[in-house]
Amino acid sequence: MSFVKPHPGLSNALLHQLDYNQNSDRIYRIYGRGNVDWGFTPNADMGITFDAMIPRVLREHDAKALFFMYMRLLAAARKVGVSASDLRAQLHAEWGIDPLCAAPPPPSSQEELEAWRTREELTRSLYRVRKIEQMKKLWQLEPKRARRLKNAQQHTYSSAYLNLTLTSSLKA
């Protein structure tokens, strides 16, 4: 067990959060009301993204990275009954940045809305294409193990989980 050393620019709340991240299987702690706290554990891809975002916010005070984290944490917080304002206040207390200061302005016209939807769909399709390319590369590394894994888990897991399982089994 290791602890994050105090630093003059870091709040006590952030130090506790970084300790939790370092010493727990979870990525982030969402504080609930009363004695209940929630550990946030995303899938492997999002976990890697969070591992990249946390240092960006620490080093560069990047509000866009904090907004990205806020939006992902908000989905989890809503599932356990933590309000958006409580999560926003938690992140502001930890990082010293309001996560919503980097929120994009809402579209002001129908054309902007359509452009946003088109951009989002393009982003999703590019992600899928890149994900398929990654999977193909992994399949080529160990085709026998990959085929056995594919046959055993066909139609049961999402691609993100299959990627995590495949990566774990390749390391074994």
The domain tally of the chain equals 2
Residue 39 has which token pair?
């550990």
Rg, Å, the chain Cα set: 19
What are the mean pLDDT values of the chain's consecutive 10-residue runs (172 residues total)?
A: 62 87 87 84 84 89 91 92 93 92 85 89 84 76 59 47 43 46
What integer pLDDT is reported at residue 99 of this predicted model? Answer: 92
In whole angstroms, give the CA distance from residue 59 to residue 7: 13
What integer pLDDT is reported at residue 6 of this predicted model? Answer: 60
What residues contact residue 27 under an 8 Å CB cut-off, 6+ apart? Answer: 21, 39, 40, 41, 42, 47, 50, 51
In whole angstroms, give the CA distance from residue 66 to residue 62: 7
pTM of the model: 0.62
Determine the length of the chain: 172
Residue 165 falls inside a structural domain: yes
59, 83, 102 - which closes a domain = 102
Residue 100 CA, chain-centre distance (Å), reads: 17
What integer pLDDT is reported at residue 160 of this predicted model? Answer: 46
Range of the structural domain that residue 44 is part of: 12-102
Residue 162 falls inside a structural domain: yes
